[in-house]
């Protein structure tokens, strides 16, 4: 019982009287209540990320409420509603179960759906790990091929090749080969001599 309705029934001296009062207030089901439950039962849909066991339990609870109200649903009707309420990613499961030729019942259907859900999760996890492995292997083979197929092009020999910046004076410098000796020139002074 919810806390907000307890004050309505707490003045009853015994539990039996309280239960009788609850039954008279909430126990009778009108045709409108049955119609609302049927509408809820027929229009409930499972979302893509939901657990199939919880969804089937929710439908079974509504079917039990309908049975308590005096409107019992057949087993085939319940199976049909459960299969139609599954999301589009379950279409292959619905097709295989409806065309299998086996008689489906509400005692076996939840078990079959839970097994299929586990298989789908396992397959999704395996596909994710295999695609990660493929991406890693293609990445390494890509670099392996580059390492072995690298082609060097030889540039013509230059008398003066500019280098990086000197770590002491922050000036650019270069070198030239004269008489087999390396001579280092400041970049700016050599540049002026060329022009």
Q: Is residue 20 part of a domain?
A: yes
Q: Is residue 184 part of a domain?
A: yes
For 154-189, the pLDDT digits (tens) are 666 555 444 555 656 666 655 555 655 666 666 555
Q: Is residue 121 part of a domain?
A: yes
Do 107 and 34 lie in one domain? The reply is yes
Q: Is residue 79 part of a domain?
A: yes
User: Which of 126, 150, 182 is where one domain is finished?
Assistant: 126
Would you mind telling me the total number of residues written for the chain in this entry? 195
pLDDT value for 124: 87
* Residue 114 reports pLDDT greater than 70: yes
pLDDT value for 30: 72
State the pLDDT confidence band at 112, using cuts at 50, 70 and 90. very high
Q: Is residue 113 part of a domain?
A: yes
* Residue 168 vs residues 82, 171, 173: alpha-carbon distances, Å: 80, 8, 12
Separation between Cα atoms, residue 174 and residue 7, nearest integer Å: 95
For 75-108, the pLDDT digits (tens) are 999 999 999 999 999 999 999 988 888 888 999 9
DSSP 8-state symbol, 72: P
pLDDT value for 3: 64
pLDDT value for 178: 60
Structural domain count of the chain: 2
User: Which of 83, 105, 126 is where one domain is finished?
Assistant: 126
Do 68 and 119 lie in one domain? The reply is yes
Q: Is residue 181 part of a domain?
A: yes
The range of the structural domain enclosing residue 71 comes to 3-126
- In the beta sheet, which residues pair with residue 65? none
Question: Other CB atoms closer than 10 Å to residue 63's CB: what's the count?
Answer: 21
Q: Is residue 149 part of a domain?
A: no
Do 119 and 31 lie in one domain? The reply is yes
State the pLDDT confidence band at 19, using cuts at 50, 70 and 90. confident
Average pLDDT, whole number, for the chain? Answer: 77
């Amino acid at each position: 019982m919810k806390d907000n309705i307890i004050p309505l029934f707490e003045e009853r001296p015994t539990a039996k009287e309280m239960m009788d009062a609850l039954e008279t207030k909430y126990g009778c089901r009108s045709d409108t209540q049955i119609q609302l439950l049927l509408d809820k039962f027929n229009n409930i849909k499972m979302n893509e990320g939901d657990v199939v066991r919880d969804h089937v339990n929710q439908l079974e609870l509504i079917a039990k409420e309908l049975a308590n109200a005096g409107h019992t649903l057949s087993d085939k009707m319940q199976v049909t509603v459960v299969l139609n309420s599954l999301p589009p990613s379950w279409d292959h499961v619905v097709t295989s179960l409806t065309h299998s030729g086996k008689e489906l019942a509400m005692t076996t259907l939840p078990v079959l759906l839970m097994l299929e859900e586990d298989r789908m999760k396992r397959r999704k996890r395996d596909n994710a790990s295999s695609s990660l492995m493929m991406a890693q292997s293609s990445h390494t083979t890509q670099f392996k091929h580059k390492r072995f197929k690298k082609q060097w092009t030889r540039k013509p020999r230059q008398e003066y090749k500019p280098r990086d910046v000197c770590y002491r004076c922050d000036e650019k410098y270069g070198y030239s080969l004269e008489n087999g000796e390396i001579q280092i020139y400041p970049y700016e002074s050599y540049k002026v001599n060329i022009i």
